[in-house]
Amino acid sequence: MAKTNYYQPDPKTDLVLERIVDVPRELVWKAWTTPEHILKWFTPAPWKTVDCEIDLRPGGIFRTTMLSPEGQEFPNNGCFLDIVENEKLVFTDIFEPGFKPTASGGFFTAILTLEKHGNGTKYHVLARHKDEETRKKHEEMGFHEGWNAALDQLVELMKAVH
């Protein structure tokens, strides 16, 4: 029986970001899993992340609040689905902590994988959406630009603190 590759992107519903960054994956992992770091890099400037809560376990909370340049807050609540230290982080806003479905139905699930690449990291994000319309909306909101800008901020931060 052939094994299904659940991480194969579907161009109709998924967005992908892949880059090589010159920061060791342990530091990339630390940036993703430490609330104090998330506050400094997670939202592309001039937006800010003003609050973060992480319970790093399957079903644990992953909550952030983003602040627009105009001062409007955008809370994002979700939970972790899968965690392999320094290798994989899967989270979603489709579920609240404890895998309780969200009232809003959620937006997407993200699969972040980190591979050693020399002294740096191969950084891969697969953003899965429930349908083409949702994927298109996320893309039009600036998925590639925003996630790339946030990754640049992550790299800059981790080089400065380590």
pLDDT tens digits for 102-111?
988 889 999 9
pLDDT at 61 over 70: yes
Q: What does the DSSP assignment read for 8-22?
A: S--TTTEEEEEEEES
d(CA 40, CA 32): 11
φ and ψ at 79, to 5 degrees?
A: -145, 165
Q: What is the pLDDT of residue 102?
A: 92
Question: 131, 14 in Cβ contact below 8 A?
Answer: no
pLDDT at 54 over 80: yes
pLDDT at 47 over 70: yes
pLDDT band at 8; cut points 50, 70, 90: confident
